């Protein structure tokens, strides 16, 4: 008895100690975050250095809140990067930009936005130089904006084009006795193909080839044009992996010069007209005249105006719920209503970067946006992906902007109910039960195959949601049902093709959408305000402590591929009800 009481007391004491330590850490976090570090300054004759080693975020919604990371969440986003480059264009203290981008940690449309900003910067007559040791393909896409591209002798760039790989689960289901009962509308709605096929369908191959062809055509032509290389020759260079060996890449105009980094620093030193000192190296002097983009942004303050444009960031999968992981319907409905109540907000820009998800949650969000549109202009800006549900929620807007490389469309829906009866039977588990009605056991148990009635009902539900989706698009895009249906069927399009067939209005990034919103709202001076509003970090952290981030643990212990499989299975389990979801992910590097 004493031993038992001793164990109980030690457990209580241990818990109290843990909570005390945690409380002290949180207190220190509050104190540290309240201390303002001194603002950096820009010396005359400085160079703005861009590396983009940190993930490029678009809003507070992209910040991860973790018990193991008590640092203050970043407040530096894509919009701030673009603003800083624009500011540097007219800043007399900034003489040029140095690109040292090796592993660009952002999406393709983010790279396009930054590349466009750099091209605009060059119109000032200031220089842009680039240096790399080992650059990813997307990093090189940015580096090609430079007047000169310098390369380390023992590095290289892996220019290799684009590919897509899809993982299939049918054989695993057959082996272990899981039947993925799939109902879909649209021959191109391939999100469920991995569960009933072992390879790509002809329709899926067609849309993937078209999509990758458009995207690679856009970025390869940009790179070839900047490097003054014939587009056909650039494809040969890519096919042959010539850029991987510096001397071969130099021969084919991928690089301008092969030098060591210290030599590159000497070039910048001379370009900035800096003076040598006997007690300091050129590199030490140059370092004092080099400023990172985040530090540069903090050297000036943005104007604050009473008229505002709200930016609603919709990033991630669309689900039903109230939280900050992805696009949870209740959170976004509340955010839209908060925007409506704010008298200073004159327009809304909806920034979408989503593969879709729950059709019901998408409809909830769209309904609230329709009500808001009666009171103010709504302009949509598409990021890397705005497909299925991501495209669905954009259908009450005045104008839709996309990048040529945006993945969009996928107007189609599906439903899937896994049946694991054979699986549990094979390991000696059986199930039995009673029911009051013919279909009382349907659509809620994974141990029952779909009855004919349930299958008919699911088919009807999928068709009804698809027709509603098409009608939304037809109304907003000023098309007939037949016109939308012809380009629907679940097919995914690049931004280039989407503009040609009328699914988007203009090419442009977030800045273009903001300017259009201001124009429609008839305001000239404005500031922006981001939505949804997240909870305070500590409050959100306490919410997260109730659960564990299993995916992060799997990634740490077993690697990225294992985490990807877990994520796919988790997504499959969450696909309750009819789904409007993108069938695949595209990676550029």
Taking Cα atoms as reference points, which of 570, 575, 576 lies closest to residue 554?
570
Taking Cα atoms as reference points, which of 373, 379, 306, 362 lies closest to residue 339?
373
Whole-number Cα distances in Å, 490 to 23, 206, 310, 485, 530? 50, 13, 31, 9, 31
Residue 461: φ, ψ to 5° = -65, -45
Separation CA 139–CA 250 (nearest Å): 17
Active site residues: 189, 388
Q: Quick check: 242 and 254 in contact, CB under 8 A? A: yes
Q: Quick check: 283 and 71 in contact, CB under 8 A? A: no
What is the DSSP-derived secondary structure letter of residue 107?
A: -
Residue 38: φ, ψ to 5° = -60, 140
Separation CA 467–CA 459 (nearest Å): 12
Helix/strand/coil for 172:
helix
Separation CA 287–CA 269 (nearest Å): 10
357: left (phi over 0), alpha (psi -120 to 50) or beta: left
> 341-354 burial string, b = 16+ CB within 10 Å, else e?
eeeebbbbbbbbbb
Taking Cα atoms as reference points, which of 44, 152, 151, 145 lies closest to residue 97?
145
CB atoms within 10 A of CB 102: 20
Separation CA 49–CA 117 (nearest Å): 14
Sign of torsion over alpha carbons 386, 391, 397, 400? positive
Separation CA 2–CA 13 (nearest Å): 16
> 149-161 burial string, b = 16+ CB within 10 Å, else e?
bbbbeebbbebee
Q: Quick check: 26 and 78 in contact, CB under 8 A? A: no
Q: Quick check: 495 and 404 in contact, CB under 8 A? A: yes
């Amino acid at each position: 008895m004493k031993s038992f009481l001793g164990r109980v007391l030690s457990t209580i004491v241990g818990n109290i100690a843990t909570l005390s330590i945690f409380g002290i850490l949180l207190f220190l976090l509050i104190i540290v975050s309240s201390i303002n570090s001194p603002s950096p300054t820009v010396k005359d004759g400085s160079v703005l250095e861009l590396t983009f080693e940190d993930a490029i975020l678009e809003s507070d919604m992209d910040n991860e809140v973790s018990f193991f990371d008590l640092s203050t969440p970043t407040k530096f986003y894509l919009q701030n990067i673009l603003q800083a480059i624009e500011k540097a264009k007219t800043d007399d203290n900034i003489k040029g930009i140095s690109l040292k981008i090796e592993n660009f940690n952002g999406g393709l449309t983010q790279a396009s936005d930054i590349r466009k900003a750099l091209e605009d910067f060059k119109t000032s007559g200031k220089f842009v130089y680039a240096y790399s040791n080992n650059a990813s393909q997307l990093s090189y896409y940015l580096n090609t904006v430079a007047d000169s591209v310098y390369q380390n002798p023992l590095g290289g760039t892996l220019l290799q084009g684009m590919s897509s790989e899809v993982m299939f689960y049918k054989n695993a289901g057959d082996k272990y006795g899981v039947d993925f009962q799939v109902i879909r509308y649209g021959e191109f709605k391939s999100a469920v193909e991995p569960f009933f096929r072992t390879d790509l369908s002809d329709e899926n191959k067609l849309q993937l080839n078209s999509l990758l062809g458009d995207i690679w055509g856009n970025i390869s032509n940009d790179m070839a044009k900047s490097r003054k290389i014939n587009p056909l020759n650039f494809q040969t260079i890519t096919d042959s992996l010539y850029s991987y060996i510096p001397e071969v890449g130099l021969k084919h105009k991928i690089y301008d010069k092969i030098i060591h980094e210290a030599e590159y620093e000497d070039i910048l030193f001379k370009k900035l007209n800096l003076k040598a000192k006997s007690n300091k190296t050129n590199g030490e002097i140059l370092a004092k005249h080099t400023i990172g983009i985040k530090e540069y942004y903090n050297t000036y303050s943005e104007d604050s105006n009473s008229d505002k444009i709200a930016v609603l960031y919709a990033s991630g999968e669309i689900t039903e719920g109230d939280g900050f992981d992805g696009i949870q319907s209740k959170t976004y409905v509340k955010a839209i209503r908060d925007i409506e109540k704010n008298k200073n907000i004159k327009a809304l820009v909806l920034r979408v970067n989503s593969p879709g998800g729950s059709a019901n949650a998408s409809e909830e969000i769209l309904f609230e946006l329709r009500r808001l549109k009666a009171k103010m202009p709504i302009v949509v800006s598409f990021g890397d992906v705005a497909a299925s549900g991501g495209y669905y929620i954009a259908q009450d807007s005045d104008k839709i902007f996309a990048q040529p490389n945006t993945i969009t469309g996928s107007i189609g829906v599906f439903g899937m109910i896994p049946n694991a009866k054979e699986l549990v039977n094979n390991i000696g588990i059986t199930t039995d039960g009673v029911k009051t009605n013919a279909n009382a056991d349907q659509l809620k148990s994974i141990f029952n195959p779909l009855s004919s009635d349930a299958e008919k009902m699911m088919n009807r539900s999928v068709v009804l949601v698809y027709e509603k989706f098409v009608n939304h698009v037809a109304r907003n895009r000023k098309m007939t049902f037949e016109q939308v249906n012809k380009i629907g069927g679940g097919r995914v399009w690049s931004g280039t093709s989407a503009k040609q067939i009328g699914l988007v209005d203009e090419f442009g990034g977030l800045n273009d959408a903001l300017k259009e919103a201001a124009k429609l709202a008839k305001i000239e001076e404005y500031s922006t305000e981001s939505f949804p509003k997240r909870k305070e970090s500590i409050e959100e952290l306490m919410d997260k402590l109730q659960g564990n981030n299993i995916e992060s643990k799997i990634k740490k212990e077993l690697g990225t591929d294992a985490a990807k499989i877990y994520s796919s299975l988790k997504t499959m389990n969450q696909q309750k009800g009819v789904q409007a979801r993108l069938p695949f992910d595209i990676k550029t590097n």
